[in-house]
């Protein structure tokens, strides 16, 4: 348990604070490439283990050669131990409509075949392992052929990819399905988990309920994380999943401190 890395996302507006906090953070996840004008980037790159967590493309379609090249270039730049993508399908095939926000696929055999084939193709072109993050649904689509947990189990069993378990996503889905988060979690293939995300949640007026927010995670989320850690023996990193220009340094540092106490 003591070998688990604890970190957060690189938020460039907090660059000055992060440069001086190498003892606090073991790693930083990179959601965007560094800006050429970011004065802190050279030190950040030198001091931290960096995790590639950018948008590379949706694996419902094969990644274009330029997207694969971009993924490889970023992975090399960061010297990342693994490359993350999401179980998401957020734009139409012709590119006419794009939600610009994570949105899950249908949990059908056709989508499973698509994601499996495209993830295997991507993984073959990478020098690092691929890990895939679960994405929450806010509503159920009647054509789903299996639960999300079964779809993910089949995906990981076939591809051998790592599982980036986003706990708030699980927590939110359980909430909207009126189920216990712990019971909901246990159906997922936790033996594949490599990295865990924790994050804050807040009430959203449009959704009429909780959603992800760059706020401190509530104690309930830390308790859930502690529970999850006991079920995920291969976990190598826990990341505070907050990437927002509104994120405050005290929230980021306070959360990291709290996570450290979980894994101590």
Partner 1 sequence: MSDRDLHDHIIRALADAPYRTASESLADLVHEGGRVDRFATFLARHFYYERLHHLFKYARALARITDRRPEEVVRSSAFDALLPNLVLGSRDSAVQVGRLASAHVRSGRHLDDIPYLDDLLLYEEARMMVESGPRGHPSDDDVDVGPAVAQEGTTIIELAHDIVPLLPKLLTDWVEPPTAEREPIKLLIARTRAGRVTTVRATSSMERLLELADGSHAVDVLARDIGATGSTVEQALTGLKEIGAIRFSTGS
Residue ranges in contact with partner 1 by CB under 8 A: 60, 64, 66, 89-101, 103, 105-106, 108, 110-111, 114, 138-143, 204, 206-208, 211, 245
Is-contact 196 233, C-beta < 8 A? no
Residue 30 CB, nearest approach to partner 1 (Å) = 18
Question: Which 3 state secondary structure label does DSSP give 236?
Answer: coil
| Minimum CB distance to partner 1 smaller for 89 or for 225 | 89
Q: How far apart are alpha carbons 150 and 158 in whole angstroms?
A: 12
| Minimum CB distance to partner 1 smaller for 58 or for 239 | 58
Residue 49 per-residue DSSP state: E
| Minimum CB distance to partner 1 smaller for 12 or for 81 | 12
Place of tokens 């909430």: 175
Residue 94 CB, nearest approach to partner 1 (Å) = 8
Among 213, 220, 225, CA closest to 261:
225
Residue 109 CB, nearest approach to partner 1 (Å) = 8
Q: How far apart are alpha carbons 152 and 186 in whole angstroms?
A: 13
Residue 108 CB, nearest approach to partner 1 (Å) = 5
Give the dihedral sign, CA 220/52/46/247: negative
What's the gap between Cα 128 and its chain centre?
Answer: 16
| Minimum CB distance to partner 1 smaller for 205 or for 264 | 205
| Minimum CB distance to partner 1 smaller for 172 or for 238 | 172
C-alpha gyration radius of the chain: 18
Residue 14 CB, nearest approach to partner 1 (Å) = 17
Residue 171 CB, nearest approach to partner 1 (Å) = 17
| Minimum CB distance to partner 1 smaller for 142 or for 183 | 142
Check residue 131 and give left, alpha or beta (phi > 0: left; psi -120 to 50: alpha).
beta
Q: Which two tokens stand for residue 154?
A: 């089949």
């Amino acid at each position: 348990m003591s070998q688990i890395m604890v970190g957060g996302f690189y938020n460039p507006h907090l660059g000055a604070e992060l440069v001086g906090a190498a003892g606090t953070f073991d790693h930083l996840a990179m959601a965007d490439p560094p800006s050429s004008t970011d004065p802190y980037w050279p030190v950040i790159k030198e001091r931290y283990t960096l995790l590639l967590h950018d948008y590379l493309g949706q694996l419902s379609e094969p990644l274009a050669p330029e997207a694969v090249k971009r993924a490889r270039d970023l992975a090399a730049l960061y010297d990342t131990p693994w490359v993350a993508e999401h179980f998401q399908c957020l734009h139409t095939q012709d590119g006419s409509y794009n939600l610009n926000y994570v949105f899950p696929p249908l949990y059908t055999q056709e989508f499973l075949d698509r994601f499996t084939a495209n993830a295997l193709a991507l993984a073959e072109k990478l020098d690092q392992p691929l890990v895939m993050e679960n994405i929450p649904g806010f509503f159920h689509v009647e054509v789903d052929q299996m639960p999300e947990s079964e779809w993910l189990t089949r995906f990981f069993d076939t591809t051998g990819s790592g599982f980036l378990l986003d706990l708030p996503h699980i927590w939110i889905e359980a909430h909207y399905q009126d189920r216990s988060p712990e019971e909901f979690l246990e159906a997922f293939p936790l033996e594949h988990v490599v990295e865990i995300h924790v994050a804050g949640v807040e009430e959203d007026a449009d959704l009429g309920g909780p959603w992800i927010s760059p706020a401190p995670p509530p104690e309930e989320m830390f308790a859930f994380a502690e529970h999850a850690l006991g079920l995920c023996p291969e976990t190598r990193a826990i990341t505070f999943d907050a990437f927002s220009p509104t994120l405050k340094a005290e929230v980021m540092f306070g959360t990291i401190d709290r996570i450290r106490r979980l894994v101590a």
